Structure 1
Amino acid sequence: MKYFPLMMLSVPLLVACGGANTPPHTPLPGNQTSAKMQTLETGAQVMQSRPPVEAISAYLDGFHFYNGDKNGQMEAHHYVTVLNDDVMQAIIYDSNTKDARLMGVEYIISERLFKTLPPEEKKLWHSHQYEVKSGSLIAPGLPAVAEKALMSKIVNTYGKTWHTWHTDRNKTLPLGIPALMMGFTGEGQLDPALLKDRDRRFKTDTQAIKSQRQDIIARPVAAGADAWQQGDVVQLKLVEGAAEHGHNDTTHFGTSEQTQRKIASGKQ
């Protein structure tokens, strides 16, 4: 799988066609950036190198939901770095503007690597087949031919996603504990209002994209992924205090007591 030529195409298009149309969801407490801080920022941009940031080569826009809470849905803006043919990593924001809130991270691996994971680890990962084939995952700014080729590489990969700033729940700061996120796997799961709003901002037609991707080959989802569909849900929980990531912050979703103990102790 060769990603680099496709990813390189996206670099000049991140600003030209694929960004700055989705503002952050929540206000930010604190004073406005001072002139002194702005000067320091400008100087740092000119004088310091940023190899990890400069390695980001693609922008993907899709949707996540809280593992165990399919009603807790949000749009996720992924800025992706290719590490090799089998591993990618993405920084996830709640918008695509300069002041976007950093929501979390996603690690993306090939089907080959996913199949080598132990059973308990596989429960943390979700498939990308439906996201690609449904047209709900897009690469804004890429020409249609290049986007389709990129999606042909992503369709059989698997992702592990943690969100640390829950701006969809009006969290004006990164409060609470991280939440494990999942991707959609079938029709009728994604809130159509979210999809409609995304299509409006990006001037895209998800149904047309779906039709164009019908010939992308998607292999059956590997065993162990999307464990939530079998009722095996993993979510962090506080050792003391109320549970964190149920809808409206009222319900906790977990797995077996044994798995919860592993997560709480850091042995998962």
Structure 2
Amino acid sequence: MQKLWIGAAVALLLSGCGANNTPAQVASPGAPTSAKMKALATGADLLQSRPPIEAINTYLDGFHFYNGDQNGQMEAHHYVTVLNDDVMQAVIYDGNTKDARLMGVEYIISARLYQTLPPEEKKLWHSHEYEVKSGTLIAPGLPQAADHALMARIANTYGKTWHTWHTDRDKTLPIGIPALMMGFTADGQLDNRLLADRDKRFDIDSRKVRASRADIVTQPVLPGANAWQRGEVIQLKRVSGGGEHAHGQTHFGPAEQLSKP
């Protein structure tokens, strides 16, 4: 199955499409990049290797919302590394241009691995079945056959997503603590204006994408995932003292379960 992923990634790279159409959603303060800094960056680019970055081989575009606040929605551009048949990792940006802001990370695992997680851990993860079948998750630039094969693999996986820069709210710098994000699970949850704007930029029709994936076989969502649907909303909270990551502490405090807004 790993050959399937590699083949899809190669097709994406060869296509050269599906990017450079969504600029960053925030403008950070700061002086323009100096000639000296540009020269240093150019030199580093020529002399240093970046194996973890070079291993990124797949681009996915979808949508997230804050766990416990379904009104807080945003588009998320995922740049994915396939670690093995059961584990992927993604860096998430607010756009797909060179100035895009790093927004967070997502870990993606197979249903087989998800089943091995402790009950409390499972509550942090969301399913991908609806995102795939609805056509709201796309792999820009991939030919239809490669897209279909890739999405058939993703449909039965689970993701744990943390956003460190809340670009829908913090328009200059990353403020506050990370937020646990969730994925949509049914029609009527995602803001249609977000979807329409995305579809226009990528020149696609999500309804046609949905129809093309009707034959993708999905398994029932495993117990524990999408805990927000059962009213179990989990977010981090600050702790007293030196903050969330104070040195010398052996315990930083549990995630706080909050009531649904």
TM-score by length of structure 2 reads 0.91
Q: Which runs of 5+ in 1 are unaligned?
A: 242-259
The 3-state SS of whatever aligns with 2:168 is helix
* Residue of structure 2 in register with 1:69 after alignment: 69
Report the Cα distance in structure 1 between the residues aligned to 2:253 and 2:174, rounded to whole angstroms: 24
Q: Give the residue type in structure 2 aligned to 1:120.
A: E
The 3-state SS of whatever aligns with 1:169 is coil
Show the 5 A alignment for 1:91-170. 91-170=91-170
* Residue of structure 2 in register with 1:5 after alignment: 7
**Identity across matched positions, percent:** 67
Give per-residue Cα distances to partners, 1:197-241, cap 9 Å, x unaligned: 000000000000000000000110000000000001110112259
The 3-state SS of whatever aligns with 1:8 is helix
The 3-state SS of whatever aligns with 2:234 is coil
1:180 and 2:187 are equivalent in the alignment:
no
* Residue of structure 2 in register with 1:248 after alignment: none
Give per-residue Cα distances to partners, 1:90-131, cap 9 Å, x unaligned: 000000000000000000000000000000000000000000
Give the alignment partner of residue 255 of structure 2, picking from 244, 253, 263. Answer: 263
The alpha-carbon deviation at position 261 of structure 1 amounts to 4.8
Report the Cα distance in structure 2 between the residues aligned to 1:53 and 1:171, rounded to whole angstroms: 26
TM-score by length of structure 1 reads 0.88
Q: Which moved more, 1:168-177 or 1:89-98?
A: 168-177
The alpha-carbon deviation at position 170 of structure 1 amounts to 3.2
The alpha-carbon deviation at position 157 of structure 1 amounts to 0.2
Give per-residue Cα distances to partners, 1:156-204, cap 9 Å, x unaligned: 0000000000111133111100000000000000000000000000000
Report the Cα distance in structure 1 between the residues aligned to 2:32 and 2:160, rounded to whole angstroms: 35
Q: 4+ residue runs of structure 1 moved beyond 4 angstroms?
A: none
> Does the aligned pair in 1 maintain the 2:27–2:171 contact within 8 Å?
no
Q: Give the residue type in structure 2 aligned to 1:233.
A: V
Q: Which moved more, 1:36-45 or 1:132-141?
A: 36-45
Report the Cα distance in structure 2 between the residues aligned to 1:89 and 1:209, rounded to whole angstroms: 24
The 3-state SS of whatever aligns with 2:255 is helix
Report the Cα distance in structure 2 between the residues aligned to 1:192 and 1:212, rounded to whole angstroms: 20
Q: What is the root-mean-square deviation in Å for CA atoms of aligned residues?
A: 1.4
Q: Which moved more, 1:55-64 or 1:170-179?
A: 170-179
1:236 and 2:228 are equivalent in the alignment:
no
Report the Cα distance in structure 2 between the residues aligned to 1:6 and 1:19, rounded to whole angstroms: 16
Q: Which moved more, 1:231-240 or 1:198-207?
A: 231-240
The 3-state SS of whatever aligns with 1:11 is helix
> Does the aligned pair in 1 maintain the 2:28–2:171 contact within 8 Å?
no
Q: Which runs of 5+ in 2 are unaligned?
A: 242-251, 257-261
The alpha-carbon deviation at position 5 of structure 1 amounts to 1.9
> Does the aligned pair in 2 maintain the 1:180–1:235 contact within 8 Å?
yes
Q: Give the residue type in structure 1 aligned to 2:12.
A: S
Report the Cα distance in structure 2 between the residues aligned to 1:144 and 1:240, rounded to whole angstroms: 52
Report the Cα distance in structure 2 between the residues aligned to 1:118 and 1:81, rounded to whole angstroms: 25
Q: Give the residue type in structure 1 aligned to 2:186.
A: G
* Residue of structure 2 in register with 1:225 after alignment: 225
